[in-house]
């Protein structure tokens, strides 16, 4: 039986889950992105990239100012805001698609929403700053929470991911976040072994039991590099395989660096797996 996930409103856009896969294009305003696409403080380059992503079919632009790679160097709140706020303020004036702020800090999220963002994406799943739940509730915006095991030991990855997402859902619900505004991310690459990532991809469909849409972020991740023995800038085909199989296993949004190619992969996969 097809699961009805309802409709999520994000700014002026409605996401009708199950009808098609939505594409989230990544804009990294960091100098040290794992994927080699960090734009640092080059605002013009970031705006040009975001415009190109929209032309190529992106449904959401996700902007981040702090690296999330392993062993990243944390930056101050002020530095993070200095990287992302000028971009959001400028792009929001012309954007035909929603802007998501990729941050684990409530202060950054609040200011980003002030200047034009309409979604929050927390790769730490409220572990670093539970007040993000309050921000999402107060503003009535969708929030993505990821299952992040970087500071957690686990024995079996799928039960651990499900349990951590259930904890996040409870925090969001207790804060007053609307059910339709909760989006779940299994957190591929965040504190998981290669085998754990592959097992999670195989069993991605089990997350559907949680009753919320799933965002999948495999683009250029190290698990692809490990399997194919390739650097980040040569992982397009590996990413395409994970996107296609992820959609077949229930992903509703895919977060990607290579928008045009993944739009094509998603449309073809949707034509096969989304029937009726």
Assigned domain for 217 exists? yes
* 126 close to 185: Cβ distance less than 8 angstroms: no
- Asked if residue 153 has pLDDT above 90, the reply is no
- Asked if residue 85 has pLDDT above 50, the reply is yes
Average pLDDT of the chain, as a whole number: 94
The rounded percent of the chain whose pLDDT value lies above 70 is 94
For residue 255, indicate whether it is catalytic. yes
User: What confidence score (pLDDT) does residue 3 get?
Assistant: 76
Q: Specify burial of residue 91 (Cβ count, 10 A radius: 0-12, 13-18, 19+).
A: buried
Assigned domain for 180 exists? yes
pLDDT band at 30 (very low <50, low <70, confident <90, very high): confident
- Asked if residue 35 has pLDDT above 50, the reply is no
For residue 192, the enclosing domain spans 19-271
Q: How many distinct structural domains can be found in the chain?
A: 1
Assigned domain for 97 exists? yes
Assigned domain for 154 exists? yes
Assigned domain for 8 exists? no
**Sequential DSSP letters for the chain:** ------EEEETTEEEEBTTB-EEEEEEE--S--TTS---TT-HHHHHHHHHHHHHHT-SEEEEESS--STT-----HHHHHHHHHHHHHHHHTT-SS-EEEE-S-HHHHHHHHHHT--EEEETTTTSS-THHHHHHHHHT--EEEE---TT---SSHHHHHHHHHHHHHHHHHHHT--GGGEEEE--TTSS--HHHHHHHHHTGGGGGGG-S-BEE--TT-HHHHHHHT--GGG-HHHHHHHHHHHHHTT-SEEEES-HHHHHHHHHHHHHHH---
CA nearest to 142, candidates 40, 14, 270, 274: 14
The predicted model gives 31-48 an average pLDDT of 72
Report the CATH number that the domain containing residue 106 is assigned in CATH: 3.20.20.20
User: What confidence score (pLDDT) does residue 18 get?
Assistant: 95
- Asked if residue 37 has pLDDT above 90, the reply is no
Candidate list 221, 235, 264, 274, residue with the active-site label: 221
* 235 close to 228: Cβ distance less than 8 angstroms: yes
Q: Which residues contact 48 (CB under 8 A, 6 or more apart)?
A: none
pLDDT band at 69 (very low <50, low <70, confident <90, very high): low
215-241 per-position pLDDT tens digit: 999 999 999 999 999 999 999 999 999
- Asked if residue 71 has pLDDT above 80, the reply is no
Candidate list 105, 111, 220, 255, residue with the active-site label: 255
The predicted model gives 46-59 an average pLDDT of 97
For residue 110, indicate whether it is catalytic. no
The predicted model gives 190-208 an average pLDDT of 97
């Amino acid at each position: 039986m097809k699961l009805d996930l309802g409709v999520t409103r994000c700014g002026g856009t409605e996401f009708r889950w199950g009808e098609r896969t939505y594409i989230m294009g990544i804009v990294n305003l960091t100098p040290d992105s794992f994927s080699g696409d960090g734009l640092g403080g080059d605002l013009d380059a970031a705006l040009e990239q975001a415009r190109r992503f929209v032309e190529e079919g992106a449904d959401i632009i996700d902007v981040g100012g702090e690296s999330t790679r392993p062993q990243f160097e944390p930056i101050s709140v002020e530095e993070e805001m200095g990287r992302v706020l000028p971009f959001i303020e400028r792009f929001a004036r012309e954007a035909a698609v929603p802007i998501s702020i990729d941050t684990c800090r409530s202060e950054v999220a609040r200011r980003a929403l002030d200047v034009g963002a309409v979604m929050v994406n927390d790769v730490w799943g409220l572990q670093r700053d539970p007040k993000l739940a309050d921000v999402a509730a107060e503003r009535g915006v969708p929030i993505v929470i990821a299952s992040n095991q970087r500071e957690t030991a686990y024995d079996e990855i799928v039960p651990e991911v499900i349990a951590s997402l259930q904890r996040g859902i409870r925090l969001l619900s207790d804060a007053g976040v609307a059910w339709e505004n909760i989006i779940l991310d299994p957190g591929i690459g965040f504190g998981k072994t290669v085998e754990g990532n592959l097992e999670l991809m195989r069993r991605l469909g089990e997350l559907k039991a949680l009753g919320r849409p799933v965002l999948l972020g495999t683009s250029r991740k190290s698990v692809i590099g490990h399997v194919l023995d390739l650097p980040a800038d040569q992982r397009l085909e590996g990413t395409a395989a994970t996107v296609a199989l992820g959609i077949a296993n229930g992903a509703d949004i895919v977060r990607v660096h290579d928008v045009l190619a993944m739009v094509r992969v998603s449309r073809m996969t949707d034509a096969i797996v989304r029937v009726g």
